[in-house]
Amino acid sequence: MPEPGPQGFLNLNKTKGMTSHDCVAILRRCLGIKKVGHGGTLDPMAEGVLPLALGRATRLLPYLPPEKSYEAVVRFGLTTTTDDLDGTVLTQVKAGDLSWPTLAAILPEFVGTLEQVPPQFSAIQVGGKRLYDLARRGQGVTPPPRSITIHHLQMRHWQPGDYPELTLTVDCGPGTYIRSLARDLGQRVGTGATLVSLRRTLSGGFSWPDSLTLESVKTRLEAGTLYLIPSSAALGHLPAIALVPPLAQAWQQGQKIAVPLVLPLGQPHRVLAAESGELLGIGQAEDRQGEAILKAKMVLQPWIPASPTSHPEQIRQG
């Protein structure tokens, strides 16, 4: 049976000082539901877009657009244990000679596919344990580098001084740590650097200007004006295929069905009910001896057979 309660996505504007889990816990209490998930952790010191999924929409989080954008402020001449101002200071060296042209010259080196070492204080697991747990116990482990992609970096503002600060925007792929980027920029110019502030302006296809604070969510909930983003809209970046009732039923029951060869192979598709446009789940077309076959990667709406007393028109397909 379909799950009761709210279903869909919420574009939350997380405030500084809260963890992503804090936001999820508050929404669970406010809405009275257990199934609430987020689409990418934000550090407590960061603010901005935190995509939240409610109900069965939590199963769709992996299919949101992976690209992210940030506005970051980096301070040079300072390094910390956490690569941001929440950590203990490790080194402090005046960097008054550093200039905008120097940074502008080296910034292109940090664009493209790179190897990046995550911060020691991060949620990455090594040997089944979170790095931040190991670091807090004095058992700091340097994690192995990971391949990340930075699509675009742009310098926005330069504040000169003994400990100058650079404001920049970052467009990147998943898994990119902006704290690590700040640390690596500091190492590159020889002064050290740490992250001062961070705002995520784009995540999962949701943008910061359209996001809601928790206070706004609570106010709208009390007024009955809180509307969730439908799953079909949140996944609008994926190609779609619509199935007529007999094919939709077969696909929902786990059968592989033949589809036109023009359907792109090997990538996720939204599978829709042809009559209603309802999102049934996520499918993927594969080549089987020259024939395109649509298999189910995730069935969002299970097929519900009619009861013996149901009138045929009352049978719900999807």
Q: What angle do the packed helices 214-223 and 20-31 form, to 10 degrees?
A: 10
How far from each other are the two terminal CA atoms of the chain, in whole angstroms? 11
Name the token pair of 192. Answer: 């050290």
Q: What is the Cα–Cα distance from 182 to 274, expressed in whole angstroms? A: 49
Contact 293, 256 (CB under 8 A): yes
Contact 296, 318 (CB under 8 A): no
Active-site residue among 22, 43, 83, 171? Answer: 43
Contact 173, 181 (CB under 8 A): no
43 is catalytic: yes
* Close Cβ partners of 270 (under 8 Å, ≥ 6 residues apart): 232, 235, 238, 239, 240, 241, 279, 282
CA angle, 15 then 20 then 24, to 5°: 105
Q: What is the Cα–Cα distance from 56 to 235, expressed in whole angstroms? A: 14
Q: Maximum CA pair distance of the chain? A: 82
Q: What is the Cα–Cα distance from 184 to 170, expressed in whole angstroms? A: 14
Q: Which residues are catalytic?
A: 43
